[in-house]
Structure 1
Amino acid sequence: MSETERAHGPELLTVVHTATDGITVLTAVGEIDHTSTSPLAEALKVHVPGSAPRVVVDLRHVTFMDSSGINVFLAARRDLLEAGGWLRLAGAQDSVMRTLQIVGVDAVLPCYPSLREAIAP
């Protein structure tokens, strides 16, 4: 692969974990597609001993998402609900939010305009 091809290829996805007030915050950066869902899927396997796992995924820095990302979020939602917890999405850019709305995920998963609103009680 040439350097030019690499410069224009998909942006790798990274996921950073933080915690605030007992809520796991996952900040995703890059593109969520069929080639990059592994870091997100692994990060969403949250286990909090002795309490229900509460997770917010900060999507402010996600520039693209396809149905692979939607599948990861729906599977994580199912697993977190079974464990007595919840999943929320925050700060999705317009293009990502549009994908969530077209498929109807925003009716199943709470989507908040900002991280601050998503972690509020």
Structure 2
Amino acid sequence: MTGDEMPDTEQAPQPGHLSIVATSSEGIRILTLAGEIDNDTGGTLRQALDVPAVPQPRLVIDLRQVTFMDSTGINILVAAHQAATDAGGWLRLAAPTGAVMRTIQIVGIDTVIDCRPTLGEALSH
């Protein structure tokens, strides 16, 4: 590296790691995920989804930085969708990457959980 080059400061998620950032917008809880969702990281996602019950919860899970998801992730998303629906609310998935969307489509989750191509679309009514 020469003196003119700057190191790339954008860090990719570590393999086998999942980070979650929780925010909200207009009463919608947004979980932005980065990394892999599997048996090793599923507990982190379950914990993030385990929040005090609110009437008619609205939740968007931003998947654009998720590089891998196995059946553990699918099961967690289905359970969260069911919990939100049972409470009179909803759960939407935003911007799944190609590999993650293929997994979602193979098991048919896209016919059960609303999947939107962008975060903005997932937040719209």
TM bracket, shorter-chain basis: 0.7 to 0.9
Paired position in structure 2 for 1:10: 15
Query: Offset of 1:40 from its aligned partner?
Result: 1.0
SS in 2 for 1:46: coil
3-state SS in 1 of match to 2:35: strand
Which is richer in helix?
Answer: 1
> Could you tell me how far 1:11 is from its partner in structure 2?
3.2
List gaps (5 residues or longer) in structure 1. Answer: 1-8
Ranges of 4+ aligned residues in structure 1 off by more than 6 Å: none
Cα pair 2:60 2:122 within 8 Å, conserved: yes
Are the aligned partners of 1:46 and 1:53 in contact in 2 as well (CA < 8 Å)? no
1:34-66 Cα distance to aligned partner (Å, 9 max, x none):
1101111111123354x3110000000000000
Identical pairs, percent: 50
Gaps (5+ residues) in structure 2? Answer: 1-13
| Counterpart Cα distance in 1 of 2:51 and 2:84 | 8
CA contact (8 A) 1:89 1:111 kept: yes
Q: Which residue of 1 aligns with 2:42?
A: 37
Give the greater-gyration-radius structure (CA): 2
Q: What is the aligned length?
A: 112
SS at match of 1:62: strand
How far apart are the structure 2 equivalents of 1:79 and 1:32? 19
